Amino acid sequence: MKGQPKRPVPPPKNGLLIKRLIPVAYDVFNARITLINNLKKLLKVVRVHACSGCNEIHVGPVGHPFRSCRGPNAGFRKGLHVWTNATVDDIVFEVEAYHLYDRLGKRIPHQERFSIPRIPAVVELCIQAGVNIPEFPTKRRRKPIIRTGRKEFIDADESELPDPVPEVPETPLLTEIPDSEIVAPFDEADIAWLAEETLQAWEKMRGGASRLMKKYLVRVCGYCPEVHVGPSGHKAQNCGAHKHQQRNGQHGWQAAVLNDLIPPRYVWHVPDVNGPPLQRELRNFYGQAPAVVEICTQAGAVVPDEYKSTMRLDVGIPSDLREAELVV
């Protein structure tokens, strides 16, 4: 109201961290590492295929027969995929973003696009929310910023404050296991336990990232998949979407959702791993699930309720085309 003092700007808009979300950021970071390490182990026992002509993947003993390839020379193959062994990078498609030393600083200009490191967007979100990684330093303010205009501000004087003491996180940061040190699980019980832990890490990473995105803004281009973690998008003119020449390569920034930050990579659900392979004529009866969920399900994990509808677990699948034609 007029004549009343302005309310102080809450964090993180004032440059400070949200204390209660710092443990969440550490949980998201460690959940991502756990997910990657466990997937490396599960790939030793669960077969995952990747098409060499496009970005499609399939979880199962053999690749699916659907003619959905749109890669180079797909017309000569009539849309059939060329299946090879998949890696973790094929399963967990990590969107990269620019690392910001100061999330409230000036927007990244086009001329500096190659001098600023790019890291997984989830990691950048965790760093801005309080995770300290020595390889990627970031500015931590101990006093709120002082607004001098609508978009201008200055940092408060922190000279009278004592020297900051490095805080030891309550939860230590995990590290990725090298591929040469990956050991496959021994028996079915170990595989099922590993699958459950992997599924929990997947849900914790997505759930925690969703909480962080409510306070720490994430932007996505409305024309291409480019993601930027910060209050406003960068100015790098590297958008290659349709009609980007008319925009001089500039991005059209808008608020991002969770799937922009962590794409789920949906794959076809195999109803019975030990049964017959998927049939092209019965495609309409098969469901889909995120690749991580499908891998964990085939490894023995319990299917979460939120994915049962998309996996069509309640749909009876005909045994052949003749039976499918009788379905009303």
Cβ 303 vs Cβ 297: under 8 Å = yes
Mean pLDDT of 136-161: 88
pLDDT at 320: 77
CA 48 → CA 55, 58, 267, distances in Å?
Answer: 13, 6, 10
Cβ 130 vs Cβ 17: under 8 Å = yes
User: What is the C-alpha to C-alpha distance for residues 295 and 276, in angstroms, rounded to an integer?
Assistant: 18
User: What is the C-alpha to C-alpha distance for residues 30 and 26, in angstroms, rounded to an integer?
Assistant: 6
Reported as a single tens digit per residue, the pLDDT across 152-206 is 888 888 888 887 776 666 678 999 999 999 999 989 999 999 999 999 999 999 9
- For residue 84, the cross-strand partners are 50
User: What is the C-alpha to C-alpha distance for residues 92 and 326, in angstroms, rounded to an integer?
Assistant: 39
Cβ neighbourhood burial of 300 (10 Å; 0-12, 13-18, 19+): middle
pLDDT at 29: 98
For 113, the token pair is 């696009």
State pTM to two decimals. 0.93
Residue 293 has pLDDT above 60, yes or no: yes
Reported as a single tens digit per residue, the pLDDT across 65-94 is 999 999 999 999 999 999 999 999 999 999
Average pLDDT, the chain: 92
pLDDT band with cut points at 50, 70 and 90 for residue 146: confident
- For residue 150, the one-letter residue type is R
Name the range with the highest mean pLDDT among 8-12, 150-154, 292-296. Answer: 292-296
Q: Where are the alpha helices (DSSP H) in the chain?
A: 22-42, 88-91, 121-128, 188-213, 258-261, 291-298, 305-311, 321-325
